[in-house]
Amino acid sequence: AMRAFATDASSLHLIFYAPNHVRVWSRQAYFEAGGHDPSLHVVDDHDLICRTYLTGTHFEHIPECLYLYRLLQDGGNTYLRHNADIQRMQQDVANKYVYQMTVEWCRRNDYPMLDLGEVERPAPGFKSVALRDADINCDIRRGLPFPDSSVGCIRAYDFLQRVPGCTGPDCQHGADGGLLCTVGLMNEIYRVLAPGGWLLSRTPSTDGRGAFQDPAHVSFWNPNSFWYYTNQEFAKYVPGFKGRFQDTRVWQSFPTDWHKENNIAYVYADLVALKGQRQPGLVKI
């Protein structure tokens, strides 16, 4: 309990880092969140915690050791007997609530949320950022018009592939006054994100046809592409990259059956900006 993480989307969306065992709701907060879900035989408390956060309820951390957990000699502890179900179902809870909790975290901290390149249908609560006809009109290749560490979440769906890759080993990533390349864009995203801020990205993967079939695509991505922004063993090969991201969630899938039928796979990468905060989960950079 003394080392509990801050109450935010990063800690709450995974059961391993969320408040555990000693938890108290007021009657009003409990019913406002909808109470326990009787259909869940495990992770029902985790599900309720996530829903409670989404109601805007204040979480009060008591910085003391409040309980000791003892293991039974026969291995009969509930979490051991139901571990397979817990592992599977807690991920379902995370997938269900993580984006909503990211938005709620931004609301609680009064952080703006940006949707890059999306003019017609920006995500609810996000400001569209594009060259024209957006909430914020700017050439993203020349930077984002926000102060350092001032943005809570950046959404880049079907966007990264439209930013040119590096020009070569001597690429300045836009630091010389030129247009940002992909590394320069990741530097800029890192610059404006607050500590613990999120980059939510969805990009056509080179493991399918979508990455190459569109003539407007000028950079190419797959899950390994994000190693260079989240893992020091690969980031060291990118001179000029100034950021530090945690690869909180990276996976591939087909958004719809149509995408699957046409072999258009997407890589999803949800990254968190590391700026000195104590971050739950594995940090590789």
Q: What is the pLDDT of residues 149-184, one digit of tens each?
A: 999 999 999 999 999 999 988 999 999 999 999 999
Q: What is the pLDDT of residues 257-275, one digit of tens each?
A: 999 999 999 999 999 999 9
pLDDT value for 79: 74
Is the model's pLDDT at 23 over the cut of 50?
Answer: yes
pLDDT value for 2: 57
Nearest in space to 143 (alpha carbons), one of 165, 172, 174 = 174
Q: What is the pLDDT of residues 128-155, one digit of tens each?
A: 999 999 999 999 999 999 999 999 999 9
Residue 100 backbone dihedrals phi, psi, to 5 degrees: -65, -40
Q: What is the pLDDT of residues 205-248, one digit of tens each?
A: 999 999 999 999 999 999 999 999 999 999 999 999 999 999 99
Alpha helices in 110-215 (DSSP H): 182-192, 210-213
Helix (H, G, I), strand (E, B) or coil at 196: strand
pLDDT value for 174: 95
What is 111-273's CATH number? 3.40.50.150
pLDDT value for 224: 99
Residue 136 backbone dihedrals phi, psi, to 5 degrees: -125, 110
Q: What is the pLDDT of residues 32-54, one digit of tens each?
A: 999 999 999 999 999 999 999 99
Is the model's pLDDT at 1 over the cut of 60?
Answer: no
Domain with CATH 3.40.50.150 in the chain: 111-273
| Residue corresponding to tokens 């000029």 | 240
Q: What is the pLDDT of residues 52-89, one digit of tens each?
A: 999 999 999 888 888 888 888 887 777 777 889 999 99
- Percent of the chain predicted with pLDDT > 70: 99
Q: What is the pLDDT of residues 112-134, one digit of tens each?
A: 999 999 998 999 999 999 999 99
**CA–CA dist 19, 59 (Å, integer):** 10
pLDDT value for 68: 84
Residue 86 neighbours by CB under 8 Å, 6+ apart: 15, 42, 43, 79
Is the model's pLDDT at 103 over the cut of 60?
Answer: yes
Tokens representing residue 191 in the block:
């610059």
pLDDT value for 34: 97
